[in-house]
Amino acid sequence: MKKLGIYIHIPFCVKKCNYCAFLSFPFDEQLKNNYIESLKREIGLYHNDEYLVDTVFFGGGTPSLLEPKEIGDILFSLRESFTLAADGEITIEANPATLDYGKLKGFREAGINRLSMGVQSLNDDVLKYMGRVHTKEDVYREYELARRAGFNNVNIDLMFSVPNDNIVNVKRTLAKVIKLKPEHISYYGLQLEEGTPFFEKFKEGLLWENDDYMDRRMYHEGSRMLINKGYNRYEISNFSKPGYECKHNLKYWNMDEYLGFGLDASSLYKGYRFKNTKDINKYFKSTDDGMRPIEEEILNTEKDNISEAMFTGLRRKEGISMVDIFGSEEGFWEYYKDVQDAIIDYEINGFLNISDGRIWLTEGGIDISNKIMANFV
């Protein structure tokens, strides 16, 4: 059977963070109930026996606002429509302020076997400035409870380059998180996104970004700390202990197939890329009418597939294989003959490694990765 990943979007939050541009709403009990029912109806529209679902990812929003029974009901709906692998990776994103032992134990019993905690920082002043609803003490308490509840695969999300933060705070947070020994750490630089409170403050001149030098210093010094403590940087922003790479996220970077359910969820399925509506009323109506709530759909061309494979593949530590994508090294150079000189210049100047039919970014290349990747799309 072909492998398939499934993403479930849960668009509810206690409070929207100051930097967040993801689709989410304030938590409302009745709206949540209606949404879960629509979500289960949407899943039922994709009954398929061709695929083995080996990863499920509950993202948001704040999926941990749901009760374990509700998560279990959604997983039951998935099992009615798809074959789920017995050893599949099933992740839930969680805000520490929404957890307790009973909920964590319930999630584990419902089938969740990977917990992704949105920590971002262990400095309370920074957390408050970001608009997070948890404190560092919440993190320590809920992490310990997660271990007691049986979670042996835990990711912690951390964010650097937050306005008004500094490298001392960032490295202090990293050191404390490393001492907790999570299996996986995601280490992202904050990006100012339109439509967020941070972006509005930036436009008004009330917020200043870190300069490129400090942003890159935070990234590289943090990366070295993680690598020196046994975490493998298998993707630009993701570090794991051996064998604990996020299997679901690897699907995105490997151009594997996945289906997204819920508002604004994206899919790559049977050669098509498509995206669900952002309008919750349209979402409810479509699923009530037995229609898939798709708003945008395109059939990927060969050019699309190659461009996406290059762009996502270069984010991985191992880079891309010319043979896997083009059939041979010669096929690669023929396809990119118009930008061959630029590619070779990046290699000569130490930004790209090209060897044994593979291409991957160097440490310096990571800093200008978007500029390099633009040559391949």
Tell how strand 51-60 and strand 83-94 pair up.
parallel
Q: What is the pLDDT of residue 271?
A: 94
Structure tokens at 161: 């380059």
Average pLDDT over residues 279-302: 96
Average pLDDT over residues 112-134: 96
Q: What is the pLDDT of residue 272?
A: 96
- Extract long-range pairs of 68-72: CB within 8 Å, 24+ residues apart: 68/103, 68/105, 68/106, 68/107, 68/109, 68/110, 69/106, 69/110, 70/36, 71/107, 71/110, 71/111, 71/112, 72/110, 72/111
Q: Is the pLDDT of residue 171 over 90?
A: yes
Q: What is the pLDDT of residue 70?
A: 98
Please report which confidence band the pLDDT of residue 132 belongs to, taking 50, 70 and 90 as the band edges.
Answer: very high
In angstroms, rounded to a whole number, what is the distance separating the alpha carbons of residues 344 and 362? 14
Q: Is the pLDDT of residue 182 over 90?
A: yes
Q: What is the pLDDT of residue 10?
A: 97
- Extract long-range pairs of 369-373: CB within 8 Å, 24+ residues apart: 369/236, 369/314, 369/315, 372/314, 372/346, 373/310, 373/311, 373/314
Domains and their CATH numbers in the chain: 2-253 (3.20.20.70), 302-376 (1.10.10)
Average pLDDT over residues 142-157: 98
By percentage, how much of the chain surpasses pLDDT 70?
100
Average pLDDT over residues 167-191: 97
In angstroms, rounded to a whole number, what is the distance separating the alpha carbons of residues 114 and 24? 22
- For the beta carbon of residue 23, count every other beta carbon within 10 angstroms: 16
Q: What is the pLDDT of residue 217?
A: 96
In angstroms, rounded to a whole number, what is the distance separating the alpha carbons of residues 92 and 179? 23
Supply angle C-alpha 138, 141, 143, rounded to 5.
100
By percentage, how much of the chain surpasses pLDDT 90?
93
Q: How far apart are the first and last CA of the chain?
A: 31
Q: Is the pLDDT of residue 146 over 90?
A: yes
Q: Is the pLDDT of residue 124 over 90?
A: yes
User: Cis before residue 61, ω within 30 degrees of 0?
Assistant: yes
HSE on the CB side for 53, CA within 13 Å? 26
Give pLDDT tens digits for 207-227: 888 899 999 999 999 999 999
Phi-psi region of 205 (alpha: psi -120 to 50; beta: other; left: phi over 0): left
pLDDT-wise least confident of 137-141, 148-152, 191-195, 366-370: 191-195
Mean of all residue pLDDT scores within the chain: 96
Give pLDDT tens digits for 61-70: 999 999 999 9
Q: What is the pLDDT of residue 236?
A: 97
Q: What is the pLDDT of residue 208?
A: 85
The structure's pTM equals: 0.96
Please report which confidence band the pLDDT of residue 164 belongs to, taking 50, 70 and 90 as the band edges.
Answer: confident
Count, in order, helices (H) and strands (E) of the chain: 16, 17
Name which of 275, 313, 322 is nearest 294 in CA terms: 275
Q: What is the pLDDT of residue 23?
A: 86
Name which of 118, 101, 37 is nearest 70 in CA terms: 37
Average pLDDT over residues 135-164: 97
Average pLDDT over residues 329-348: 97
Cα dihedral across residues 125, 19, 278, 103: positive or negative: negative
Give pLDDT tens digits for 4-53: 999 999 999 999 999 998 889 889 999 999 999 999 999 999 988 899 99
Where is 141: in which H helix or E strand? helix 136-148
Name which of 330, 327, 311 is nearest 369 in CA terms: 311
